[in-house]
Amino acid sequence: MCECSGVTALVALLAAGVSTGVQTQAAGALTDLCLNNAHNCNSVRDCGGIVALVGLLAPGGSAAVRRAIAGTLRNLCSNNNNQNRDSHQRVRGRRGTGRAAGARRLCRRPA
């Protein structure tokens, strides 16, 4: 469950359909809050922030908003580095099966 906090308010702004300037500022603030802060990253995830952020990446959207969103998503991913590393190590022994294999197939360059 998501706590009442500034993170909650910022995520709500992203989903509220406000101006691109407000969206840029909200995403930028989330970028800063998620930098090396696991608690804030978890709050963003728990409050539906990832869905809200990705939803704003539609084609034709503001470049400034997309840059701010990319920064937030980068910080969310990098703060979760240890968990990501553990997941990769578990999948490494099972090549050719499951989602990891599908992701590898999708990421291959065309011949």
Tell me the per-residue pLDDT of 52-83, one tens digit each, with 9 for 90 and over. Answer: 999 998 888 889 999 999 999 999 988 765 55
Dist. CA 87–CA 11, nearest whole Å: 27
pTM of the model: 0.68
Amino acid at 19: S
> Quick one: tokens of 86?
């553990």
What is the pLDDT averaged over residues 4-18?
85
Find tokens 């969206």 and name the residue.
23
Instruction: Locate all alpha helices (DSSP H) within the chain, ordered by sequence.
Output: 6-15, 20-34, 38-46, 49-55, 63-79, 81-92, 98-107
Q: Is the pLDDT of residue 107 over 80?
A: no
Cα separation, 87 vs 93, in Å, equals: 11
